[in-house]
Amino acid sequence: MNTDLSSEANSGGFSGEVSGINPGKHRADIPAESAASSANCANAYARAGVDTQAGDRAVELMKAAVQATQGPEVLGGTGGFAGLYDATAAGMTAMRRPLLATSTDGVGTKIELAKALRIYDTIGQDLVGMVVDDLTPAGVRPLFMTDYIACGRVVPQMIAAVVEGIARACQAVDCALVAGETAEHPGVLGTEDFDVAGAATGIVDAPRMLGPQRVCAGDLVVGFASSGLHSNGYSLVRRIVADAGVDWHSSIPQSYGVTATSGSPFAEAADYSVGLACLEPTRLYSQLCLELENSGWLAAREAGDFAGELDGNRVHAFAHVTGGGLAANLCRVIPAGLHAVVDRSTWQVPGIFRYLMDLGGVDVTSAEDTWNLGVGMAAIVHPDFVPATIMAAQVAGMEAFVMGRISDGVPAGERQISGTKGVAGGTVAMLGEYRF
C-alpha cells in the first residue's frame, strides 16, 4: 500500500466507514487544535501550510481499515511507493484470454453536502460504487482499487473517515484497496475543502466478456432499484435546495413518503432529514452482477449455447446508471440497429426525486436526463433468465423489475435517445408515465 507523504502530497489516502449511522455518530466535529498544526509548528513546510505529521496521523487512523481489504495477493506493507498485486491469484493463468479493465471516477459535488452535514464516512461508498460498478457492464471482476484525496488542510480524523468508508465498501465488493494518496494543497484549496477520486482494475476472460455484442432482439431489460440519488446530479440538487431556502437538516413532508432504503446507514436516524436523504450512499451492484454473470454462463453451458468466439450466457449486458440518467447510459450497451423500449410505469420512483422536482419546479425530461429516478443498474438478459435475475436481486436485498425489451422494429416512444457518451449504437425509446 502506497502512503506517500512527500512534497505537496501528504498522506496515502484511505478513508470512510459504512457502518450503522446516526447523525451524531457520523459527524466529524473536529476541534481546530486537532487539525493541521502548522501555526504551532517550527517546521518551515508546516508554516507554509503542509503538515506531514498530520498526514502520518491520518495514515495511522486508516491503516487497519485498509489492511482489512487485503488478502495474500496484496504484496508489501504500508509506506511503499506503489501497491503490488499478485495477478496469478486472480486466476489469470487459467483464463484463455485474460483482459485487464480499468475505471476511474469521483463523487462530484456530493462532497459539498458531506461537508455541510459534517458526515464524511459515506462518500467512500459513493466512490467505490462509481468506480467499481463501471467495470460491471463488461462482466469484469474487480481486483484492486486506489484512491486520491486532495484537501486544503489535512484533518486526520476526516481523512481517515473518508478512507475507512472506501475500505468498508471495497470489502463488500471483494476488491483490495492497495494504494492511495492524500495531497495537501494550501493556497489552492480552502482549509475546509477536499475532493476524492479513485481508480480500479479488474479482469475478465475475453470469451465471457459481456456487452452490446451479445444483446439480441427479444432480450428483456431488468432494472435494479437505486438507493436514492447515488452520486450524480448534485449540482442541480444543491441549486434547488439553496434557491428554495431549505435547510439540510429540515424534514421532508410525510406526503412524499421518503424513508431510508433497505440497508441504509441512516436507518436509525431520529430525523430522516433532507440532507440525510440526499447523502444516502450509492448502492453497490458488483457482487450481484458477477453472480448473475456466472449463473447465466453455467445455464448456457448446460444448454450448449455458444455464439462464435463468445461463450454462451443468459446475461448479455449491464448498464450502470450514472450521469445523464437511465436512457443515456442504457444506450451504451445497445448495438446499432436495435433499440430498447423502456416503460416508465414499471417501477415506483422514490419520493426524494418527486420532492426535489416539486421543490425546484423541475420537469420530467430534465429529471430523466439528470438523475437515475430509482434505477441504479439495468441488466439485459435472455427472457428465460428473468426469474433467476429477479430472485437473485431479491436475495441481495434489492427490488428488481422488468422495465423494457430489446426490439429490432421501428422505435416507439415519446422520447428516443441515441448517440450518447460518444457511443454510436442503438436507441432507447422511453414511453409511458412514471409512477411517483
Same-domain check for residues 157 and 224: no
Percent of the chain at pLDDT above 70?
A: 86
pLDDT tens across 3-54, in order?
443 334 344 433 333 333 333 444 444 444 444 444 444 577 666 666 767 6
d(CA 222, CA 224): 7
224 and 368 assigned to the same domain: yes
Taking only the tens place, the pLDDT of each residue in 256-311 is 999 998 889 999 888 899 999 999 999 999 999 999 999 999 999 988 877 678 89
- Sign of the torsion formed by the C-alpha atoms of 194, 183, 125 and 264: negative
Residues 303 and 418 in one domain: yes
Question: Is 165 within a domain?
Answer: yes
Q: Are residues 188 and 152 in the same domain?
A: yes
Structural domain contains residue 309: yes
Asked if residue 335 and residue 395 are part of one domain, the reply reads: yes
Whether residue 323 lies inside any domain: the answer is: yes
Residue 435 in grid coordinates: 409512477
| 37 and 144 belong to one structural domain | yes
- State how beta strands 400-407 and 84-85 pair: unpaired
CB-CB contact of 316 with 338 (8 Å): no
Looking up residue 156, the CATH number of its domain turns out to be 3.30.1330.10
Longest dimension (CA), the chain: 74
Domains: count for the chain: 2
Residues 289 and 165 in one domain: no
Tell me which of 176, 208, 240 is where a domain ends. 208
CA trace torsion 153, 149, 279, 430 (10° rounding): 140
316 and 167 within one domain: no
Residues 151 and 291 in one domain: no
Asked if residue 311 and residue 202 are part of one domain, the reply reads no
In this structure, the answer to whether residues 297 and 203 fall within a common structural domain is no
Same domain, 198 and 225: no
At 201-260, the pLDDT tens digits run: 999 999 999 999 999 999 999 999 999 999 999 999 999 999 999 999 999 999 999 999
Of 345, 359, 357, nearest to 403 by C-alpha is 345
Q: Residue 74's Cα: distance from chain center in Å?
A: 23
Give the residue numbers spanning the domain of 340.
220-229+283-431
Is residue 299 domain-resident?
yes
Crossing angle between the packed helical segments 234-244 and 110-117, to the nearest 10 degrees: 50
Query: For the whole model, what pTM was predicted?
Result: 0.87
